[in-house]
Amino acid sequence: MLSSTITARGQTTIPAEIRKKLALKPGDRILYLEEDGKVRIIAADKRTNDLRGLLPKPDQPISLEEMDKAIAKGRLR
């Protein structure tokens, strides 16, 4: 079991082993869920910049009309 100490300002350090398992980096956000006197720490959604490059770029630009039509069809092509 891992532990850390809470400072007078209410701060603590998440142990390195936990940061590594959750792939937490400086600037990442975490969520605290309290249930029945216990607290769970969950890695929050990644920042928008972390999503850059996730989807491939289209072969050619498309117009707003084409985007609207694709959305209406339920797909982007």
Can you say whether the dihedral through the CA atoms of 49, 55, 57, 63 is positive or negative?
negative
pLDDT of amino acid 3 = 92
CA distance 57 to 8: 49
Outline where 6-77 has alpha helix (H): 16-21, 64-73
What's the mean pLDDT in 7-29?
Answer: 91
| pLDDT tens digits, one per residue of 19-72 | 998 888 888 888 888 989 999 888 887 666 666 677 777 788 888 998 888 888
Is the model's pLDDT at 1 over the cut of 70?
A: yes
pLDDT band, residue 12 (cuts 50/70/90): very high
Structure-model confidence comparison of residues 8 and 69, the more confident one: 8
